[in-house]
Amino acid sequence: MTALLAPALEEEAYAFDYSVLAPNHPAVRSKRAVTPLRLVSTTEPAPALSLSWQALAWRAAFFILALVAAVVLGSLVGIGLDSSFGMVPVDYFSHTVVPGDNLWNLAAANAGALSTDEMVAQIMNANHLDAASVLTAGQEILIPVF
């Protein structure tokens, strides 16, 4: 396809080649010469990759070292994210359960720097309670102070 740049008597004198402006245009690509495909014999085997035992040993050692480093780093990050890690109760005070008290209300009122669910776990741990335990009115429970 050609375009005229200016009116002239001879069209071919001012013909323009679009392949310069748009080399990837489908019309230009279809005019290119197609590279013939080369057939590969299926009888000749592909070259095998071979590594020495020493190279394999080094790769295995590096993999194991990287795996151990990832586990150690992950555990250190996990410990750092736990806000209650290393927090030991300074003291305990006794609380007499009244009707309407539950662990979540007591924990929310006395949590301090801990979250409510962490404080519930600390109260349950200090009083040897489990998930099925029920607080009864008049029961004495220990509440940790941090």
pLDDT tens figures, 116-135: 998 999 999 999 999 888 99
User: Structure pTM?
Assistant: 0.45
Q: Measured between alpha carbons, how far is 104 from 119 in angstroms, rounded to an integer?
A: 8
Per-residue pLDDT band for 39 (boundaries 50, 70, 90) equals: confident
Q: Measured between alpha carbons, how far is 16 from 123 in angstroms, rounded to an integer?
A: 87
What's the CATH superfamily of 91-145? LysM domain (3.10.350.10)
Q: Does residue 141 carry a pLDDT above 90?
A: yes
Q: Measured between alpha carbons, how far is 144 from 127 in angstroms, rounded to an integer?
A: 10
Q: Delimit the domains of the chain by residue range.
A: 91-145
| Closest by Cα among 145, 119, 123 to 135 | 123
Per-residue pLDDT band for 101 (boundaries 50, 70, 90) equals: very high
CB atoms within 10 A of CB 87: 15
Q: Measured between alpha carbons, how far is 128 from 126 in angstroms, rounded to an integer?
A: 6
